[in-house]
Amino acid sequence: MAPYVLLYGALYAGWGVLSPFLPAVLAGQGAGAEQIGLLLGLALAMRLLAMPAAGVLADRLRAPRQVLSALLAAAAGLALGFQMAEGFAGLLLVCLAHAVACGPLGPLPDALAVEAARRRQPGGRIDYGVVRGAGAAAFIAGTALTGPAIGSVGSLAGVLWANALCFALAAGIALRVPVAPVAMSVGQVARSPVRMVLRQSGFRRLLLVAGLIQGSHAFYGAFATLRWQAAGLSPGTIGLFWSVAVSAEVFVFLVLGRRLLRWLGPGRLCAVAAGAGVLRWSVMAETTWLPAMLLMQPLHGLTFAAQHLAAMALIARAVPARQSATAQALYATFGVGFAGAALTVLSGPLYAWLGAGGFWAMALLCAAAVPTALGLRAAEPAAA
């Protein structure tokens, strides 16, 4: 499991270094507020387009490690390109190319790790929750260390170099992670992996459940801080809320998630995650009382981490190994990406109309996910 922990650690540390500070990097290169919004929006669209394309390519070539390594190396080089970009046109070019390289960096490692967790390796099975939890912890560490470093150095150039070094390290590790050979006939290679994955009704239901539950976080991500600020809560208290939520995510990945999967199964665990979302968003719609907020934030471990683990378990069982990269890319694009992007756009008008009452709409989304989640059944392990 060590190579996978190292891969996720380097990858997510790189994300933690750059993601929170990318808008500041763009501003430092001369982009105005409207231009930054446009650049980030276009980058998100390019990521959503790149994910399924990279997944199909990895499956068709039967080379997920090589595709992942190449994209990591490209992302490392393009991160340094932000320093050389001149004017809006230059920033746009670098930003879009960087997004194409970075988009698949979520689903491709998951395709490798989930398949490795499904198969027994010579040293035993890999625990995906531990691997993913290590990535989440590395993200937190990267973010926590970068802020003070910027303050002491007084320059954002170190952010780009640190991200590039993390991604370059991950590119080398990606070629070393253990994978089992996948037997595949010529006919299987020729068939469309996208069509083959989407033909599975269980996978389509999973996309719906994930879109509803994960998409419900859009309003939280966009307006929870504004809601708390309007209620007079201090920046330190708001930071504590976010820290508790992310810590709960790491705890579920590292400790609790495997037990929940064993006790409940993936379908029922998705239903529990949806129920936790109903409770979490309903309370946040009605109050900003400090004790209530502190009690609600650990539910992030269920609404995000537990649902993600359940989805990975369902994909591992329902999707053959020869289509795993495609399935992960489609899940990240349609089950999480498009739903989150669309609901983030809708959250603005919703907050302007209802204020904190918009959380009730998110609670309804989670409630709508419960029946479909209960209908999910983990299939027998898919053929390799």
CATH number at 204 reads 1.20.1250.20
- Of the candidates 296, 311, 135, the residue with the CA atom closest to the CA atom of residue 214: 311
Question: What pLDDT score was predicted for residue 320?
Answer: 85
Q: Is residue 384 part of a domain?
A: no
Same domain as 305, residue 267: yes
Question: What pLDDT score was predicted for residue 222?
Answer: 84
Domain end call among 180, 210, 241 = 180
pLDDT of 142 over the 90 cut? no
| Residue 154: band (very low, low, confident or very high) from pLDDT cuts 50, 70, 90 | low
Give the mean pLDDT of 363-370: 97
Question: What pLDDT score was predicted for residue 186?
Answer: 44
Same domain as 210, residue 160: no
pLDDT in tens, 238-288: 888 988 998 999 999 999 999 999 999 999 999 999 999 999 999 999 999
Domain end call among 156, 180, 204 = 180
| Residue 235: band (very low, low, confident or very high) from pLDDT cuts 50, 70, 90 | confident
pLDDT of 211 over the 90 cut? yes
- Mean pLDDT comparison of 77-91, 140-154, 226-240, highest-scoring range: 77-91
Same domain as 368, residue 233: yes
Measured distance CA(257)–CA(206) in Å, rounded: 18
Domain end call among 117, 150, 180 = 180
Give the mean pLDDT of 120-136: 80
Question: What pLDDT score was predicted for residue 382?
Answer: 47
Burial class (CB in 10 A: 0-12, 13-18, 19+), 102: buried
Measured distance CA(46)–CA(95) in Å, rounded: 10
More confident residue, 321 or 72: 72
Q: Is residue 8 part of a domain?
A: yes
| Residue 345: band (very low, low, confident or very high) from pLDDT cuts 50, 70, 90 | confident
Same domain as 89, residue 53: yes
Q: Is residue 189 part of a domain?
A: no
Question: What pLDDT score was predicted for residue 193?
Answer: 81
Mean pLDDT, the chain, rounded, equals: 89
Asked if 179 and 116 count as a contact pair (C-beta separation under 8 A), the reply is yes
More confident residue, 47 or 154: 47
Question: What pLDDT score was predicted for residue 32?
Answer: 86
Same domain as 200, residue 77: no
Asked if 281 and 302 count as a contact pair (C-beta separation under 8 A), the reply is no
Q: Which residues pair with 121 in a beta bridge?
A: 124
- Residue 206: both structure tokens together: 């999973």
What is the share, in percent, of the chain residues with pLDDT greater than 70?
92
Question: What pLDDT score was predicted for residue 37?
Answer: 81
Q: Is residue 175 part of a domain?
A: yes
Q: Is residue 48 part of a domain?
A: yes
Same domain as 224, residue 126: no
pLDDT of 380 over the 50 cut? no
Amino acid identity, position 148 = P
Same domain as 199, residue 174: no
Phi-psi group of 85: left, alpha or beta (phi > 0 → left; psi -120 to 50 → alpha; rest → beta): beta
In the numeric block, the tokens 């670098």 are attached to 94
| Residue 295: band (very low, low, confident or very high) from pLDDT cuts 50, 70, 90 | very high
Give the mean pLDDT of 194-198: 87
Question: What pLDDT score was predicted for residue 379?
Answer: 44
Same domain as 206, residue 144: no
Question: What pLDDT score was predicted for residue 190?
Answer: 44
**How far, in Å, are 131, 200, 311, 312, 322 from residue 319 at the CA level?**
21, 9, 12, 10, 8
pLDDT of 124 over the 50 cut? yes
**How far, in Å, are 335, 363, 365 from residue 215 at the CA level?**
8, 11, 8
- Count CA atoms within 13 Å of residue 220 on its CB side: 27
Measured distance CA(330)–CA(193) in Å, rounded: 10
Measured distance CA(234)–CA(41) in Å, rounded: 30
Asked if 307 and 272 count as a contact pair (C-beta separation under 8 A), the reply is no
The domain in which residue 65 lies consists of: 2-180
* Total domains present in the chain: 2
Same domain as 171, residue 97: yes
Estimate to the nearest angstrom the gap between the alpha carbon of 109 and the chain centroid. 11
Q: Is residue 383 part of a domain?
A: no
**How far, in Å, are 28, 121, 240 from residue 33 at the CA level?**
11, 50, 28
Give the mean pLDDT of 343-367: 93
Same domain as 244, residue 166: no
Is the alpha carbon torsion for 17, 103, 332, 189 positive or negative? negative
Give the mean pLDDT of 334-338: 90
Q: Is residue 328 part of a domain?
A: yes
CB within 8 A of 251, min separation 6: which ones? 301
- Report how many helices (DSSP H) and strands (DSSP E) the chain contains, helices first: 20, 0
pLDDT of 140 over the 50 cut? yes
More confident residue, 1 or 43: 43
Least confident window among 10-24, 160-174, 295-309: 10-24
| Helix, strand, coil % over all residues of the chain, rounded to 5 | 85, 0, 15
Give 259-318 as a DSSP string: HHHHHHHHHHHHHHHHHHHHHHHHHHHH---HHHHHHHGGGHIIIIIIHHHHHHHHHHHH
Question: What pLDDT score was predicted for residue 120?
Answer: 61
pLDDT in tens, 63-119: 999 999 999 999 999 999 999 988 899 999 999 999 999 999 999 999 999 988 877
DSSP label at residue 121 = B
Question: What pLDDT score was predicted for residue 86?
Answer: 84
Q: Is residue 261 part of a domain?
A: yes
Same domain as 366, residue 217: yes
φ/ψ (deg, to 5) at 124: 105, 175
Same domain as 167, residue 291: no
| Residue 383: band (very low, low, confident or very high) from pLDDT cuts 50, 70, 90 | very low
